[in-house]
Amino acid sequence: MRTIEELARPEVLRWENYQVQPVTGCKMDANESSFPLPESVLQAAIEWLKHEDLRIYPDTDCLELRKAIAGRYGLSVHEIICTVGSDQLIDYLSKAFLSEGDRIVVPRPSFSMYALSAEINHGSAVPFELTEDLRYPVDQILEICRQNRPKILYLCNPNNPTGGVIPEEDLRRLIEGTDAIVALDEAYAEFAGFDHAEWTKEYPRLIVLKTFSKAYGLAGLRIGYGIAQAPLIRVLDKVRAPYNLGTFPQILAREALKCPEYAERIRITAAERDRIYAALAPYAGRNGFMIYPSRANFLYMRTGSAGIEEYMLARGLSVRFYGDAAGTIRATVGRPRQNDALIEALRAWVTVQAADDKE
């Protein structure tokens, strides 16, 4: 008899499960929305549950939702694919484009799912490091692509966890300078006030990845989508699981697209982000503290010491910790009072606590 260990793929046995940090107190770790479900979306959800039937399989093609998304961008339904979060879209990109041993090129630091998904699907990831001031090193990326001939180049704009954006001329150089699929992850683009869905008309190898998990505050429903020219979408559709997206997520996503309240919420979140940055930027350079400009709904900081984790958790602030000696954290923008608490805690850390540490 063969054991589970003998039957499993050897590399799978070596992998760690995706770890989610335990949360205590104020949840500022996962870039979720701090706003409740809008009343109109909640009402539509309740009405739908009262009158519709969950015994029936969902529309396997998500046609109405794709129409709604396509309508918003002035595109056709053939240029949209809907998935269970953009995580599933990343998985489909790996499944559809990677054969055994194929490579992808990914930024570092950035979203861990790109590399993870490539490895699960028998490929491998070649990382490039962001520059000292956290920009994408265009020439170096193009050189890495020339050497490695990746099937997919991932770009995250604004980049998670650093919050910076790729200037448009750099973006064009990256798309035009490679012959890979360019997967442009714009999960946070609403907070930056742009999106590059339009660019897919010009570039047949470009796919823009979008999600309802962040600006639309629907992370719990797992809804993502991709925008690309029809031939690219058709390839992805071949590896898509039937009925991948449930009826309820499809209905709520359509309702969310109709809801006018999100624009104001996005504006408030961006203003709060800028307020946190302005409050903490004067401390840059003190006791190893550094904060970086962000166009997303989070801020990336170096706090000078690994002790930051215990310190923040003791104050009920669950930000994302990276556990490094530089005390790197990523804090999601929350409600104004949570942001006040974040600012106060970090001010005290930089001016008092960090100084104590160094004695």
Ligand X SMILES: *Cc1c(COP(=O)(O)O)cnc(C)c1O
Residue ranges in contact with ligand X by CB under 6 A = 31, 85-87, 111, 156, 160, 185, 187, 211, 213-214, 219, 224
| Shorter beta-carbon distance to ligand X: residue 85 or 334 | 85
| Shorter beta-carbon distance to ligand X: residue 58 or 217 | 217
| Shorter beta-carbon distance to ligand X: residue 214 or 295 | 214
The dihedrals phi and psi of 124, each to the nearest 5 degrees, come to -145, 155
Minimum Å distance from CB 109 to ligand X? 11
Minimum Å distance from CB 152 to ligand X? 14
Minimum Å distance from CB 106 to ligand X? 11
Residues linked to residue 179 through DSSP beta bridges, in sequence order: none
Residues 6+ apart with CB under 8 A from 328: 300, 301, 302, 303, 321, 322
| Shorter beta-carbon distance to ligand X: residue 79 or 185 | 185
Identity of the residue numbered 116: L
Q: Contact 188/159 with Cβ under 8 angstroms?
A: no
Cα(223)–Cα(225) distance, rounded to whole angstroms? 7
| Shorter beta-carbon distance to ligand X: residue 136 or 283 | 136
Dihedral angle sign, alpha carbons of residues 265, 182, 196, 243 = negative
Minimum Å distance from CB 224 to ligand X? 4
Q: Contact 192/167 with Cβ under 8 angstroms?
A: no
Residues 6+ apart with CB under 8 A from 319: 28, 29, 312, 329, 330, 331, 332, 342
**Helix (H), strand (E) at residue 155:** strand 152-156
| Shorter beta-carbon distance to ligand X: residue 29 or 185 | 185
As given in the structure block, the two tokens for residue 309 are 């984790």
Minimum Å distance from CB 19 to ligand X? 16
| Shorter beta-carbon distance to ligand X: residue 215 or 345 | 215
Cα(318)–Cα(311) distance, rounded to whole angstroms? 10
Cα(47)–Cα(42) distance, rounded to whole angstroms? 9
Minimum Å distance from CB 159 to ligand X? 8
| Shorter beta-carbon distance to ligand X: residue 161 or 304 | 161
Minimum Å distance from CB 86 to ligand X? 4
Residue linked to tokens 């650093």 = 162
Minimum Å distance from CB 214 to ligand X? 6
Residue linked to tokens 């709520």 = 252
Write down how long the chain is.
Answer: 359
- Residue nearest ligand X, CB atom distance: 85
